[in-house]
Structure 1
C-alpha cells in the first residue's frame, strides 16, 4: 500500500499533537498504540458497567482481574485471587484472595469488594453491561472471611469461572471498590471522578483524556503499587501508555514505519507486508516470516450472519444453499492471500476446545460441514421452489429474488467484497457496504439482510457459550434464530457438570443447528496487528525467540499483562 505525501502529513500532524501531551515522559519510556475509536469516545466514560461504557480504550487498566487467561494456548495467571475451587455439584465457587492488596486511595482490597461486585451485578442484571448472566446464575456471593468469597449459584454452573470471571479476549468480571461504588448508580456512573479517573488496585493513573486520545501514567514508585511492594511482580518498565485514534490502514502504516507507535489495530495482510518491508524493527505475533499468517487467532471466528427474519432468508433450505455456495478456499486466497485460516464452526479452534472438535468430527463428515457444493446448493434452491431468472438470480414463484446484501465494518474490507462476489456468481443478489450505523443495525432484530461479524462465545472447556448465542432469548442472537428444541437442549447444558453428557448434548444441539443453518461460518478472525521493537521488546509471539504468553492486543482484557512484561531497548 503506497503512502502518499498528503497522508504522511496528516499522520505526522496527529503525532505532533500527541507529543505535546506526553512530553513529560521520554518516548523510550512510553508505549503508544494506534486504535480505532470508531468516531471518538466520551472523554468522561471510564466505567466498564455503565450503559454506553466499555472495558476497551484504556478502561481495563483500572480493573485488575481475579485471573488473567490466554485461551489460545491454555495459560492462566492468578492475580487478585490466589486460587479457586468448585464443590462437587458445581453449585458453589470459592475464591481465595491475595493478601496485602491496596486500592489507589489506600483502602484495603478484600472479600467485601468481590462479593459486592458479584451481588450488585446479580441485583441489577440487564440494567448494566454484563449483569444479565449474574442475575441468571448467582443466588449470593458470601463473605466467608476477609480473603475468602463463596459464590452460591441458583443451579450448577461448572463453567462460570472460565466463561464469565477470568479475563480473556473481551470477556471478564471487573471488580470495583465497594467503598467508592456503593452509593453510585452503576448504569450512569462514569468513574471519571473530575479527571482523577477510577479508584484502582492497578499501577495506572489517568493523566489526560479527550475524545481522540487517552494518556495513562504508571505510579512513580514501587511502594505505590501493591504488586511491586509485595514482590508479587517486578516494577514494570513502561511509565506511560498512550492511545490515540487512527482512521485507516495507510495512516497506521506510516505511523509504524516511522516508529511513532508501538502497536497498530487490526490491519489488512497487504498493509502488514508494507510495514514489515519498510521497517525492519516491526514484527507480528507469528514473526516476520512471509510464509506465516501475520497474526494470532482471535476468540472471534467470523461468519456470514443471515437475518433469519428476512424474506427468503427465513427459509432453512435457502440458508443451507448459501452456506454451500461459499468456496472457502477461494475466499482465503482472494481475501487473505492464503494467509487466513478456514473455520467451519462458530467457535475458535483453541487448544481448550480440541476435544469438542474431535467429538464432533463424525457430525462434520455426515453433514459435509464447510464443503463447497454448487450442485447440492442448486438442488436445495430448486426443491424450495426457486428458479433462475433472466439475470441469473434465484427468484421465487412471484419473481422476488433472494438477497444477501452485506453490511459490516472496516474490519472486513478484505473479506466482505469477496463474499459478496461469490454469492453473486451463484445467483444470490449481494453487495458490500460499510454504513456508519452498522453496529446499530446489525444486532438482534436489526435492519439488515446479511452481515459479517465475529462470535464472542466459548474459548475453553465446552461450546455452551457459543451455542447460547443462538437461543431465542439471547441478546447476542443477531440472527434472530428461534428453535424451541434447540433452546431446550442448550438449557440442559447450562446445568450439566458431567463432561461426557455435555458432549452428548452438544451433538444434539449441533444437529438441530445444522438442519436449520442459521449462520454461515467462514474463517478464523486473526488479530493482525504489527508491533514495533524499536523501543520495546518481549512482545508475546508464536515464532522462534518469542513466548506465546498472552493472546491479545490493546483493546483486550489481557493487554495490561502484556505491558507489564515489556522490556525497553534503551534506544533514543
Structure 2
C-alpha cells in the first residue's frame, strides 16, 4: 500500500519558544511532530537525555539522523548503486561470509572535532555485546559477533559466529528506519550505557557526527540548528542540508495534525488517513504529497497492509482454504473504497520496491 506521508512548503516565520541565537527564515525551518504516541504524548519524555540504546522512552527526535551510518540504502533506486557509502568507503567478506573487513572514510569527525575512527565502530559493537540483552541491538551483536577489532584507525575486522552475508546491510546500513547507532568511544567509554543520559549542554553533549546541534530541548519541543564545521562539508564530500532548523513538537492526534498543516504551523507528519489528506489539500494550496496533489497521495511504503492466518488452526491449516480467501479478496475494491484510491495493490506480502522487481516480476499465479 502507499504510505501517506505529507510534505508542506512553508513561507511564514516561526518562533522557537525560547528565542533563537540566529535568525532562521521560515523557508529554512522544518516543523514536525514526534511520531511516537508512547514516547511523546503530552511531552517528549527523553527531552533531557540522548541515549539511543535504551529499550523504552526513546523518541526519534534526533539520534535517528545525528548518528550517521556506514551506508544509506535507497529502496527506490532500481539500479545496483542503491547502497550509498557514507561513513564507510567499502567492505569485503571472506569466502564463507564469516568475517567482514570495513573501511572507514578519512576525514570524518565527531561534532567536538575528534576523529571518527574504526575504534568507535568496534567499541559500539563490543559495548552492545557486553550489555546484552539490556540495550537495543545488544542481543543481535551477541548472537552474530564473535569478535570485533580495529586493525588501524580506518579498518575494522569483525568475525561472525556463523555465515551472514547481510550483516553489514542489516545492522550498519540505514535501511527502512533500521540500523545500529554508532557512538563516540571517547564519550561513552567508562559510562554505564544502561543509565548514561548522554546529555549535557555545558559539555557539548550529545556528541554526534551529523550536521545539526541541539539548540533547545524541553518537554514541549526539541530544536536542532545547522552547525558549522560538519565533516562532510569540510572535506568536500557533501553539501550541508538546506534545512537550517528542525523543530520536533510533541505527538499530535490526527485532527490536530490536520489543523496545523492547514494553517502552515507544521510542515510534515508521518501518517494521515486519505479523507483527511484530501481535506488538507482542499484547504491549503501550499500542501503537497509524495505524488503531488494527485492519487495515490503517498510513497511506496515498505510495510504492506496484509491479512494473515494462524496456519496451525483449522480451517486455515488447509492451503486450499487460504488460497480461496486470497482469490475472494477484491484488492481493487479495497484500494478504491477502503483507501479512497490512495494506494496500490500487491499480490505478495512484499512492497513493490524497484530493486526487488527483478525477482518478483517472474512470480506467476
Q: TM-score range by the shorter chain?
A: 0.7 to 0.9
Q: TM-score, normalised by structure 1?
A: 0.55
- Is residue 2:352 matched to residue 1:349? yes
* Equivalent-residue separation in structure 2 for 1:21 and 1:70 (angstroms): 37
2:360, 2:33 → 1: CA distance? 36
CA pair 108-313 structure 1, distance change in 2 beyond 3 A: farther
Equivalent residue runs for 1:268-347 within 5 Å:
268-288=273-293, 290=294, 292-304=295-307, 316-317=317-318, 320=322, 326-347=329-350
Within 1, Cα distance between the matches of 2:179 and 2:353?
Answer: 18
Moved over 6 A (4+): none
Tell me which residue corresponds to 1:174.
181
Equivalent of 1:193 in 200, 214, 219: 200
Is 1:264 equivalent to 2:269 in the alignment?
A: yes
Residue 64 of structure 2 is aligned to residue 63 of structure 1: no
1:203 aligns with one of 211, 214, 217: 211
> Within 5 Å, which residues of 2 pair with 1:382-461?
none
Indicate the residue corresponding to 2:53 in structure 1.
49
The whole-number CA distance in structure 1 between the counterparts of 2:326 and 2:191 is: 48
Residues 306 and 45 of structure 1, relative CA distance in 2, 3 Å threshold: farther
Q: Is contact 2:211-2:240 (8 Å) kept?
A: no
Deviations 1:289-327 (A, max 9, x none): x2x311111222222455779xx6896249837656643
2:44·2:59 contact (CA, 8 Å) conserved in 1? no
Give CA deviations for 1:466-491 in whole Å, capped at 9, x if unaligned: xxxxxxxxxxxxxxxxxxxxxxxxxx
Question: SS of the counterpart of 1:125?
Answer: coil
Correspondence for 1:249 among 254, 257, 262: 254
* CA shift in 2, pair 1:16/1:281, >3 Å: closer
Which residue of 73, 77, 86 corresponds with 1:73? 77
Instruction: Provide closer, same or farther for how the CA distance between residues 300 and 186 of structure 1 changes in structure 2, counting only shifts above 3 A.
Output: farther
Partners of 2:218 and 2:314 in 1: CA distance: 43
SS of the aligned residue for 1:303 comes to: coil
Query: How many residues matched?
Result: 341
Partners of 1:37 and 1:211 in 2: CA distance: 14
TM-score calculated relative to the size of structure 2? 0.83
Match of residue 104 from structure 1: 111
Distance 2:255 2:57 in 1: 29
Cα displacement (A) at 1:232: 1.5
The structure with the largest alpha-carbon Rg is 1
Q: Is the Cα–Cα contact under 8 Å of residues 45 and 190 in structure 1 kept in the other structure? A: yes
Secondary structure in structure 1 of the residue aligned to 2:90: strand
Greater relative CO (CA pairs within 8 A, separation 6+): 2
Residue 336 to residue 133, structure 1, CA distance change in 2 (3 Å): same
CA shift at 1:256, angstroms?
A: 2.0
Q: Does 1:214 align with 2:222?
A: yes
Q: What do you get for the CA RMSD once the two structures are aligned?
A: 2.9
Q: Indicate the residue corresponding to 2:231 in structure 1.
A: 226
Q: Structure 1: any 5+ residue segments left out of the alignment?
A: 1-14, 366-572
Q: Is the 8 A contact 2:120 2:182 kept in 1?
A: yes
SS in structure 1 of the partner of residue 233 of structure 2: helix
Q: Which residue of 2 aligns with 1:136?
A: 143
The equivalent of 1:32 in structure 2 is 31
Contact residue 310 and residue 316 of structure 2 kept, 8 A: no
**Aligned CA distance change for structure 1 residues 156 and 33 (closer, same or farther; 3 Å):** same
Distance 1:142 1:55, change over 3 A: farther
**Deviation sequence 1:505-559 (CA, Å, 0-9, x none):** xxxxxxxxxxxxxxxxxxxxxxxxxxxxxxxxxxxxxxxxxxxxxxxxxxxxxxx
Q: Matched residues in 2 for 1:55 and 1:83: separation?
A: 30
Distance 2:194 2:100 in 1: 27
Residues 158, 53 of structure 1: alpha-carbon distance in 2 compared, 3 angstrom cutoff: farther
Which structure is higher in helix share? 1
What do residues 218-268 of structure 1 show as CA deviations (whole Å, max 9, x unaligned)?
21x3xx221112221223332211011352333223322232222122111
Change in 2 beyond 3 A, CA 1:305/1:226: same
**d(CA) in 1 for partners of 2:314, 2:194:** 36
